[in-house]
């Protein structure tokens, strides 16, 4: 991040948390825009067809347009569109052309009618800006902006917003002024371009998700003024500013990369998929640590091993493996330290084994695909075949020359050859479709590239692709572009993620974007509880080991070596048990063995032993 951007971020966010910022979006609902047109409107059309549709919408939707006069820019203008049956005669009557200029050269932008902003004081600024086009004979190019004029001579411009919270836009009764990120951003632009700002608070009145109109929120002591620009925090995926008095009816679209999804994971790859790499490393280190300690204690004396493992445990390494796989143990240690270690290790293994089994079942029963590219550079690095149509060539101006050389531009006549080549290629061919149509599913190339091959389509989620690209040039870009640049310059500071989360938290009444729930790989963060248990295992077992060693040292007494004389007591001879009827010889021997065992247990002295021998 350059020092200039950092200074800009600090200036705007000096009174606010840097994680909260502004998001604004341009509405593509042309019908609602047409309804808001008044005598202070600018309309631009990139071709006669769009202008024709615009005029029809005005005639249908505007109830009273007797005094309507608008500034129209139209490239490749054809006068015959006014004689088309699709144009209502009422429209021709009520459209008063204040100024008409037609040039035969199609490369020059035509000025057909003119009117001023909502504020009359801005008229001179607008006249001079229009003169730039006429005098310099500027060509109408996509993405061309009116950046040559930087002084509005304190022209009053009204900015409104429906965001009513202290972080974005709010009225402070203490300061008797508007506060928030929106005023901060607009103030920076106003100082640079020398215009006066007035703020209004509004609420939208909606019907079935379409903005019909807005109503003012009255603030005591303030005079209401009609807004020129409306800014709102609407979406994470767009950063465009709505404007009503300066309306661009040119096609508004986004640069979209529709890409083929990633390859499917194989069954063997799914075995390692439930945990991420960091989790697997922690698990491996756990067992390496366990086996290392076992190897060290094997070199110790028998007393130390008996104290740690227990006298009944002869193969501790095998016990560790058995516990991890859930195999029952036949021999369990009796010492406290060993038992604590055993119980906690079983708990630890149970958590990880259960997580793994549930995730592996989920992955095996779903189609899991490898991650697809997330940036435009990754498309080129992974040798994707990028295809676009000839009328989208202008959007390639934002690419580097080496990137443009790798993009295939197709004419309509090339479709058949493309379909034939796709049938020959493998279904896993890496293809990306570059378009500007919002509804990618209606794109003609989509059916050729993806639908006929039974492939789902994914949209590249990159900041460069999601910013709106407007197919026309309008005067208000002098104001809107600097505001958008200020917002975009704040993005490297890590603002958008937290702001979007805050937006979702605060705006509970708005519709949420519902994403398809897909199986997710477990990470160390998800399994942090299991690793905490393992830390408890190590710490508690270590404390138990130290405690038992100390207790053993304190309670151990020196034992003198003495020869112990073992006295064997012999019992007196018991009378013989009455003989039983035995069916066979085997039962006789078994009965004799039992009698001998009873007699030997009660022997008292050696003399009795001799009598026993004689009896036998």
SS3 70: strand
Q: What is the pTM of this model?
A: 0.35
- pLDDT attached to residue 186: 76
Percent of the chain with pLDDT over 90: 0
d(CA 290, CA 313): 16
> Which has the closest alpha carbon to 254: 511, 50, 440, 455?
440
Residue predicted with more confidence, 30 or 488: 488
What confidence tens digit (pLDDT) does each residue in 310-364 have? 666 777 777 777 777 777 666 666 666 677 777 778 888 888 888 888 888 888 7
What confidence tens digit (pLDDT) does each residue in 126-171 have? 444 444 443 343 433 323 333 444 556 677 777 777 766 666 677 7
Other CB atoms within 10 Å distance of the CB of residue 53: 15
Rounded to 10 degrees, the C-alpha dihedral 88/90/91/94 comes to 170
Contacts of 300 (CB under 8 A, 6+ apart): none
Q: Say which residue the tokens 């009609």 belong to.
A: 226
- pLDDT attached to residue 51: 59
List C-alpha distances in Å: 466 to 376, 455, 498.
Answer: 12, 23, 18
Q: Which pLDDT band holds residue 447 (cuts at 50, 70, 90)? A: low
d(CA 77, CA 112): 10
Q: Which two tokens stand for residue 389?
A: 């149509």
Phi and psi (nearest 5°) for 71? Answer: -95, 120
Q: Which pLDDT band holds residue 597 (cuts at 50, 70, 90)? A: low
Arithmetic mean of pLDDT over the chain: 59
What confidence tens digit (pLDDT) does each residue in 261-295 have? 677 788 788 888 888 888 888 888 888 888 887 78
Residue predicted with more confidence, 452 or 232: 232
Q: Which of 71-85, 435-449, 452-466 has the lowest mean pLDDT?
A: 71-85
- pLDDT attached to residue 157: 75
* pLDDT of residue 89 exceeding 50: no
- pLDDT attached to residue 271: 83
- pLDDT attached to residue 350: 83
Q: Is 62 in contact with 37 (CB distance < 8 Å)?
A: yes
Rounded to 10 degrees, the C-alpha dihedral 411/109/485/169 comes to -110
Q: Is 95 in contact with 56 (CB distance < 8 Å)?
A: no
d(CA 326, CA 126): 79
- pLDDT attached to residue 543: 73
Q: Across residues 370-399, what is the average pLDDT?
A: 72
| Domain range summary for the chain, segments of one domain joined by + | 16-182+193-250, 256-263+369-466, 563-616
- pLDDT attached to residue 9: 39
Contacts of 18 (CB under 8 A, 6+ apart): 9, 493, 494, 495
* pLDDT of residue 15 exceeding 50: no
Q: Which pLDDT band holds residue 18 (cuts at 50, 70, 90)? A: very low
- pLDDT attached to residue 376: 73
* pLDDT of residue 21 exceeding 50: no
- pLDDT attached to residue 529: 63
Other CB atoms within 10 Å distance of the CB of residue 484: 20
> Which has the closest alpha carbon to 13: 525, 492, 536?
492
Which long-range CB contacts under 8 A does 338-345 form with residues at least 24 apart? 338/308, 338/309, 338/310, 338/313, 340/540, 340/541, 340/544, 341/537, 341/541, 341/544, 344/533, 344/536, 344/537, 344/540, 344/541, 345/320, 345/537
What confidence tens digit (pLDDT) does each residue in 209-263 have? 444 456 777 676 676 776 666 666 543 234 444 433 333 322 334 566 777 767 7
d(CA 317, CA 315): 6
List C-alpha distances in Å: 107 to 303, 423, 480, 508.
Answer: 97, 42, 26, 49
Q: Across residues 74-96, what is the average pLDDT?
A: 45
Q: Across residues 45-64, what is the average pLDDT?
A: 55
- pLDDT attached to residue 84: 47
What confidence tens digit (pLDDT) does each residue in 550-591 have? 666 666 655 555 544 445 444 444 444 444 444 455 566 566
- pLDDT attached to residue 154: 72
List C-alpha distances in Å: 48 to 101, 133, 149, 394.
Answer: 16, 19, 28, 19
Q: Is 21 in contact with 231 (CB distance < 8 Å)?
A: no
Q: Which range among 37-41, 192-196, 424-428 has the greatest average pLDDT? A: 192-196
């Amino acid at each position: 991040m350059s020092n200039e951007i950092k200074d800009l971020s600090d200036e705007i966010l000096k009174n606010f948390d840097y994680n909260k910022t502004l998001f604004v979006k341009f509405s593509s609902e042309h019908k609602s825009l047409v309804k808001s047109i008044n005598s202070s409107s600018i309309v631009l059309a990139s071709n006669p067809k769009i202008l024709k549709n615009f005029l029809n919408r005005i005639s249908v939707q505007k109830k009273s347009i007797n005094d309507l006069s608008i500034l129209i820019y139209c490239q490749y203008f054809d006068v015959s569109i006014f004689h088309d049956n699709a144009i209502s005669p009422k429209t021709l009557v009520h459209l008063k052309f204040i100024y008409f200029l037609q040039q035969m050269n199609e490369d020059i932008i035509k000025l057909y009618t003119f009117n001023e902003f909502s504020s009359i004081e801005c008229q001179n600024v607008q006249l001079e800006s229009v003169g730039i086009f006429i005098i310099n004979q500027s060509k109408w190019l996509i993405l061309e902006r009116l950046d040559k004029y930087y002084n509005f001579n304190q022209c009053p411009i009204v900015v409104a917003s429906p965001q009513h919270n202290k972080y974005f836009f709010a009225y402070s009764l203490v300061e008797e002024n508007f506060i928030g990120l929106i005023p901060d951003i607009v103030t920076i632009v106003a100082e640079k371009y020398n215009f006066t700002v007035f703020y209004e608070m509004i609420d939208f009145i909606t019907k079935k998700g379409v903005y019909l109109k807005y109503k003012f929120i009255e603030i005591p002591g303030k005079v209401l003024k009609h807004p020129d620009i409306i800014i709102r925090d609407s979406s994470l995926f767009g950063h465009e500013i709505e404007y009503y008095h300066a309306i661009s009816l040119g096609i508004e679209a986004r640069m979209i990369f529709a890409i083929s999804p990633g390859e499917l994971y194989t069954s063997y790859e799914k075995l390692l998929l439930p945990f991420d790499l960091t989790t697997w490393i922690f698990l491996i280190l756990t067992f390496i640590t366990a086996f290392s300690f076992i190897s060290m204690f094997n070199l110790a004396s028998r007393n130390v091993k008996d104290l740690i493992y227990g006298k009944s445990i002869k193969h501790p390494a095998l016990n560790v493996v058995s516990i991890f796989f859930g195999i029952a143990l036949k021999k369990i240690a009796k010492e406290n330290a060993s038992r604590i270690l055993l119980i906690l290790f079983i708990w630890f293994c149970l958590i990880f084994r259960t997580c793994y089994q549930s995730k592996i079942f989920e992955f095996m029963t779903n189609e899991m695909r490898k991650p697809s590219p997330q940036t435009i550079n990754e498309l080129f690095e992974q040798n994707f075949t990028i295809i676009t149509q000839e009328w989208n060539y202008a959007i390639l101006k934002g690419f580097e020359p080496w990137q443009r050389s790798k993009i295939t531009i197709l004419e309509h006549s090339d479709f058949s050859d493309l379909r034939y080549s796709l049938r020959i290629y493998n279904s896993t061919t890496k293809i990306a479709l570059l378009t500007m149509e919002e509804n990618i599913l209606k794109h003609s190339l989509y059916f050729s590239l993806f639908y006929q091959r039974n492939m789902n389509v994914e949209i590249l989620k990159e900041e460069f692709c999601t910013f709106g690209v407007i197919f026309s040039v309008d005067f208000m870009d002098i104001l809107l572009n600097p505001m958008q640049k200020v917002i975009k310059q704040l993005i490297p500071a890590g603002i958008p993620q937290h702001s979007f989360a805050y937006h979702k938290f605060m705006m509970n009444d708005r519709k949420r974007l519902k994403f398809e729930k897909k199986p997710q790989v477990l990470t160390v963060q998800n399994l942090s509880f299991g690793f905490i248990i393992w830390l408890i295992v190590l710490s508690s077992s270590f404390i138990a080991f130290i405690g038992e060693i100390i207790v053993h040292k304190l309670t151990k007494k020196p034992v003198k070596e003495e020869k112990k004389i073992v006295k064997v007591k012999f019992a007196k001879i018991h009378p013989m048990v009455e003989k039983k009827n035995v069916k066979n010889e085997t039962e006789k021997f078994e009965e004799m063995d039992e009698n001998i065992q009873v007699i030997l247990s009660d022997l008292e002295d050696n003399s009795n032993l001799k009598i026993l021998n004689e009896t036998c």
